[in-house]
Amino acid sequence: MRPFNALYNKVLEWSSSRYAIVWLGVISFLESFIFPYPVQDFLLASMSLKNINKAYFFAIFCTISSVIGAVVGFYIGIYALELIMPFLAKMNQLSSLQVAEEWFNKYGVWIILIAGFSPLPYKIFTIGAGMLSMPLLPFVFLSFIARSARYFLIAFLVRKFGKQCDAWLNKYIDRLGYLLIFVVILGLWYAY
């Protein structure tokens, strides 16, 4: 049984749908202030794999959608924090918000570059930036730099190693999936 291989092939199938670009935009937008994990990376990679000549176009689209979502997260941090606090508490994300505040105090605005490029939950930092009254223009600029670097890296790697990556993923996707589950469980255990 290869559940992750079946899921990988399903994502490849979705990426060739005529609505794939819409889903890429919606998921990239929502990941910046709602979704806990960067699902758009997989969709971007699979869409780029299916249509290598449009890989950089998909990366631009993903970047713009994500930065618009980051601005929404920023304004949630400014105006709607009291409304979302119960939601964050229910999702056990209050400690993440406190960590984000500590990192903002330690690294300043540069944390947006780190969070926007890395697999850290970006939504915590977009909301945190608004909550801590970070200036909007540096926030948007740094978000754009970090997100474009991340998505263009994915597009570049797919363009350069696309068929090899696809063959490698088909072979090892289940091991990677189980490793990811283990890492998430370990992270949750460590956080609590």
Residue 192 has pLDDT above 60, yes or no: no
pLDDT tens-digit map of 89-103: 787 777 777 777 788
pLDDT band, very low/low/confident/very high, at 140 (cuts 50, 70, 90): very high
Q: What is the pLDDT of residues 148-165, one digit of tens each?
A: 999 999 899 889 887 787
Q: Percent of the chain having pLDDT more than 90?
A: 30
Query: From the CA atom positions of the chain, what is the Rg in Å?
Result: 17
Where are the chain's structural domains? 3-191
pLDDT computed for residue 85 by the predictor: 77
DSSP label at residue 52? G
Q: SS3 of 154, please?
A: helix
The pLDDT of residue 60: 97
Residue 117 · residue 149 · CB < 8 Å: yes
CA distances from 110 to 71, 127, 129, 141, 156 (A): 17, 15, 11, 11, 24
* Structural contact between residues 62 and 70, judged by C-beta atoms closer than 8 angstroms: no
149 or 106, greater pLDDT: 149
Q: List the single range of 8-12, 57-61, 65-69, 94-98 with lowest mean pLDDT.
A: 8-12
In angstroms, the Cα distances linking 162 to 51, 154, 172, 190 are 10, 10, 15, 35
- Between helices 3-15 and 40-50, what is the axis angle to 10°? 60
Q: Report in angstroms the alpha-carbon separations of 63 from 11, 27, 142.
A: 20, 11, 12
Average predicted confidence (pLDDT) for the chain:
82
